[in-house]
Structures are given as C-alpha cells and as structure tokens.
Amino acid sequence: MTLGELVEVLGGKLAQGNPEWEVEGVSSSARACSFHLVFAEDAASAAKALARSSGIVVLQAGLVDSYPPDYCIVEADQPRLWFARAALLLKPVLPTIGVHPTAVIGEGAELGENVTVGPCAVIGEYAQIGAGTRIEAGAIIGEGVRIGDNCRIYPRAVLYPGTKLGNRVIVHAGAVLGADGFGYVRDSATGAYTQFPQQGTLLIEDDVEIGANSTIDRGALKQTKIGRGTKMDNLVHVGHNCEIGEDVILVTGVGISGSCTVGNGAVIAGQVGIGDHAHIGPGVILGGQAGVLSGKTVTNEGLGVKPGTVLWGTPARPLKQVLRELAVLARLAKKGSGVRDQGSGNRD
C-alpha cells in the first residue's frame, strides 16, 4: 500500500513526505528500512526513530520541533494504535489452499467460499465453516459446530459440539472450547461424586482472540458466552455458565470459576483467581494474583473508587489500600520484634 492510501483508510495527517511512497511493512526503529513504518509515543522514541537516514514515522503532532528532510511523517492522535492498524492492513494475505487430501470432512458439513482445511484436520458432521476461514493442521471441529467468516483455527485446537464462533475469531494452538464444565453432585451417604449434566452451549462472539492452550467450558444447562472483542492470553480458563463481556482482557494464568460474570472493558491481570458465582463490574481492573471470593460482587462503584482503579490482593480491594495495610503490618512486625528482643534481654 502507499502511504497516502494508509492515511486515507486510517486517518491522521501526512505532515511531510510523498503520498505515493510504498510502505512494505512495519518494524522497530533499530531494524527498519526506508520502506518500513515505525512509531514514536514520546520525545525519546521520536529521536530514536528520526536518527536514521530516512524512513516513515507516525507520531503525535508537536512531539518534535521540526522534522528532518527525507522522512515521511504521519501525525496521529494515537500513534501506537495507528501503527497496529497499519500492520494489519500491510500483513500479507495467506493463500487459500482448499481442503488438504488428509483432512476428514464429515457428512453434511458445509464449507463456505475460500475455506482452507489443513493436513489431518477433522470437520465433524453437519459443521458449518464460514467463508475465508482457515482450519489449520490437526484441528478438530466437532459435530454441528458453527464457525463464522474469516476465522483462523490454529493447529490442534479442539472445538466440541455445541460451540458457535462469530466472525474473525482467532483460536490459537491447543485451545479447547466447549468441554464439560467441572460440576459434580456429592452423595452425602457415600461421598461419591456424580457429574451434574453438562449439556449447554458455548458462544464466542465476533473479533474474539483465544490464546494457546486456553480452555472455555460450555454451559451446564445453559450457555457460556464470550463477548465481542474480548482478548484472552495463553493458559486462561473460563468455567461453565460464565458470561464475559465485550472488550475484556484476560491475561495468562487467569482462572474464572463457573457462573461468573465479567463486565465490558474489565482487565483481569495474570494469575487472578475468581470464585464461582462472582460478579466483576464493567471497567474493573484486577491486578496480578488478585483473588475474588465466591459469590462476591466487585465494582468500582461498590468500592467507592474511580473507574480504572487497580484492585489487588485477596479479597480484591484498591491497591493503595493494600499498600497502606502492608505498611502497617511491617511497622507492627518491626515493633513486635523489638519487644521480643528486649524481653529476651531481661530474662538473661
């Protein structure tokens, strides 16, 4: 694409340079050539980006006093976002190769136009695969699964029956979608466990990305749902009957127990644990290793903090509060240690 075409699609202002300049891709400042796009968010990164002999740089207006010659400069309010969107537009389109001879396609399965099915992949009976979707090597698509347009299912991912994906969903290698939830009923007389019925469904809405080796259970008697635009890191688990809102971030190691809800725009950092039937409000940020107890509701309003405040600890509460509590405990521990030392001296 030309630089002018990128600006026309993504907005911003071409402050300097030739709109017909071909952009071949994106790169870091250290590795970019004159046909690569780089970005700068502050004065230091701008100086680094503009230290080469020539190139294409996207940055905020007013970040530097003047632009060196031989540079193409795009001014944008959010340079990192502009850069990321440009990278998607410049990414090479993978060729459509059709159905590999070793793939297995079940009876009644429907494949849309330009679908790719890789080696040893399995498409179950009556599954529906939307146009432009790629099913990579060894992936398993269960009976009756529905996958929308332009999705990508990476190698060895498994989609159980009862799973439905929207459009442009990415499922990375080893992810398992729609498995049985962890639900059992205990016999009070014998102590033996019997599985509670796990016969619900799983809905993944448009533009969701699911990291490698992550797992999402289907509902027990109803539906598990992952909202539009949500992004899940590797090794995340979402239990049965959960409802995750739109544009939620779930970082690696997060474990969400069954029947929880997470509001739109929440950020759940690494290794956070959430007990069953808990409710996380919109925009809540749970810091790394925070814990939410079963049945609890965590909202910014309920804790009297502004949206965007980081919550931490177990039970999760505002980070500033946790740090104050830790400081008090440290002072008490130090004081207690002094008392013990003094007492020991008196006994001698």
Q: Annotated catalytic residue: which of 36, 172, 237, 240?
A: 240
Which residue in 200, 207, 289, 204 sits closest to 244, CA to CA?
204
CB 58 within 8 A of CB 12: yes
- Give CA 15 to chain center in angstroms: 34
Which comes out higher in pLDDT, residue 309 or 314? 314
DSSP secondary structure of 117-129: E-TT-EE-TT-EE
Tokens in use for 199? 């016969």
Q: What is the pLDDT of residue 89?
A: 94
Q: Is the pLDDT of residue 273 over 90?
A: yes
Q: What is the pLDDT of residue 51?
A: 83
The pLDDT tens digits of the residues spanning 144-164 come to: 999 999 999 999 999 999 999
Instruction: Report residue 66's pLDDT band, with 50, 70 and 90 as the boundaries.
Output: confident
Q: What is the pLDDT of residue 224?
A: 98
Full-model pTM: 0.89
Beta pairing partners, 210: 171, 232
Could you confirm whether 36 is annotated as catalytic? Answer: no
